């Protein structure tokens, strides 16, 4: 006797000389000839594939058959939980008392509630799940063609192969672009290095994405070329004295071009000006000489004013002798207030004049 044991988790088909004879339910089965064999199926796989001859001997209650259309997707649920994802085609799955249920979804209809378990089951290629943040905007493409601009929010949908959907998420906040260390030559043949800065924000996203391959590189080039044109037509003195004029020139050149690229420029200007070492030394000497000359002019002006004041004072003393006497007494008073005692050395004549009585001491 040849025996076969079929576990509860399996189903089997008995064959004789390779030809299906009948189905075998779980349990132990014995046969008196060695020509018998079995083909086993594992029910834990949910979906199975069997030749028509094998299916012909299976009981109708063992399995179910369903066809998923080209614009449909199927999910087998077991005990209320998603268990198997089905693409278009004919599928056979085990039925019975295991709580297995097939749910078919139309890809042209909204996506069903996407739980974590269902999200993990559906292949990434079959699903579109994109979140656009508050500071972002989304550009939706269907089969490579731009369809619409998306506001902030979450977008979940089916993504069938015949109409692939892609969403590009872009940042709409202001961004800074630095153009560092540009070596430029002025009109008077002085080489210097400029560091420029640009602050911008995309305003027309489809244009900003479709107009150029690299938006930042395009803005970088516009600022660089504008700076070269301005510096090449300006002397060093004009450049150092008129940085605001250069800023206005850069704005006039860059802002309209940036608008054509779907970008609003909030600010553009010169961040740093770096001169060669010998040029710094020369400019410092020039500035030092200018300051020294200005200081000399001020000194001469003050000396002239002091001389004029002294001449006016001398003229007043000559015309009014009493003023000179009052000035002398005022000076003596100031001196007396600063010393404790005054010693006078004089002859008899001086003492007599000081006392005023005409008698000798």
pLDDT above 50 for 215: yes
Contact by Cβ (8 Å): 40, 79: no
Q: In this predicted model, what pLDDT tens digit does every residue of 305-342 receive, in sequence order?
A: 777 777 777 777 677 777 666 776 777 667 666 666 65
pLDDT above 70 for 286: no
Instruction: Say what the pLDDT of residue 33 is.
Output: 78
Contact by Cβ (8 Å): 185, 232: yes
Cα separation, 313 vs 355, whole angstroms = 32
Contact by Cβ (8 Å): 153, 143: no
Cα separation, 356 vs 315, whole angstroms = 31
Q: In this predicted model, what pLDDT tens digit does every residue of 108-130 receive, in sequence order?
A: 898 888 889 999 999 988 999 99
Q: In this predicted model, what pLDDT tens digit does every residue of 10-55 receive, in sequence order?
A: 999 999 988 999 999 999 998 887 789 999 999 888 999 999 999 9
Cα separation, 34 vs 146, whole angstroms = 68
- The strand pairing partners of 37, in sequence order, are 15
Q: In this predicted model, what pLDDT tens digit does every residue of 137-190 receive, in sequence order?
A: 999 999 889 999 999 999 999 998 888 899 999 999 999 998 887 778 888 777
DSSP 289-326: HHHHHHHHHHHHHHHHHHHHHHHHHHHHHHH-HHHHHH
Cα separation, 216 vs 214, whole angstroms = 6
pLDDT above 60 for 289: no
Strands 27-31 and 2-6: antiparallel
* Closest among 104, 72, 100, 77 to 88, alpha carbons compared: 72
- Structure pTM? 0.63
Instruction: Say what the pLDDT of residue 361 is.
Output: 45
User: Which helix (H) or strand (E) segment is 118 a member of?
Assistant: helix 116-121
Q: In this predicted model, what pLDDT tens digit does every residue of 230-259 receive, in sequence order?
A: 888 888 778 777 778 888 999 999 999 999
* Closest among 9, 3, 8, 11 to 28, alpha carbons compared: 3
pLDDT above 50 for 202: yes
Average pLDDT, the chain: 84
Task: Give all strands (DSSP E) within the chain, no chain letters.
Answer: 2-6, 10-16, 19-24, 27-31, 36-42, 47-48, 63-68, 72-78, 81-86, 89-94, 100-106, 127-132, 136-142, 145-150, 153-158, 165-171, 175-185, 191-202, 263-274
Q: Is 78 helix (H, G, I), strand (E, B) or coil?
A: strand
* Closest among 261, 269, 180 to 215, alpha carbons compared: 261
């Amino acid at each position: 006797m040849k025996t076969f044991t079929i576990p509860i988790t399996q189903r089997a088909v008995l064959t004789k000389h390779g030809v299906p004879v009948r189905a075998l339910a779980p349990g132990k089965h014995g046969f008196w000839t060695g020509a018998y064999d079995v083909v086993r199926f594992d029910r834990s796989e949910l979906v199975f594939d069997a030749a028509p001859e094998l299916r012909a001997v299976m009981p109708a209650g063992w399995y179910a058959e369903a066809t998923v259309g080209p614009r449909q997707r199927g999910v087998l649920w077991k005990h209320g939980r998603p268990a198997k994802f089905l693409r278009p085609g004919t599928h056979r799955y085990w039925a019975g008392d295991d709580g297995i249920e097939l749910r078919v979804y139309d890809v042209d209809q909204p996506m069903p509630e996407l739980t974590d378990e269902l999200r993990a089951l559906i292949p990434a290629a079959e699903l579109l799940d994109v979140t656009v943040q508050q500071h972002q905007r989304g550009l939706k493409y269907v089969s490579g063609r731009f369809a619409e601009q998306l506001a902030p929010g979450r977008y979940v949908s089916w993504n069938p192969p015949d109409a692939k959907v892609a969403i590009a998420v872009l940042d709409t906040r202001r961004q800074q672009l630095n153009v560092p260390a540009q070596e430029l030559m002025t009109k008077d043949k002085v080489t210097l290095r400029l560091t420029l800065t640009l602050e911008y924000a995309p305003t027309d996203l489809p244009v900003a994405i479709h107009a150029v391959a690299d938006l930042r590189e395009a803005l970088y080039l516009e600022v660089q070329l504008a700076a070269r044109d301005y510096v090449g037509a300006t002397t060093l003195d004009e450049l150092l004295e008129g940085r605001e004029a250069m800023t206005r020139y850069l704005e006039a050149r860059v802002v309209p071009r940036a608008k054509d690229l779907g970008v609003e420029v909030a600010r553009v200007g010169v961040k740093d000006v770096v001169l060669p070492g010998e040029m710094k030394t020369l400019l410092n000497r020039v500035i030092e000489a200018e300051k020294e000359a200005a200081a000399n002019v001020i000194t001469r002006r003050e000396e002239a004013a002091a001389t004029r004041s002294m001449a006016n004072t001398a003229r007043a003393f000559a015309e009014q002798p009493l003023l000179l006497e009052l000035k002398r007494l005022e000076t003596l008073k100031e001196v007396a207030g600063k010393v404790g005692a005054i010693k006078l050395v004089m002859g008899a004549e001086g003492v007599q004049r000081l006392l005023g009585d005409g008698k000798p001491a």
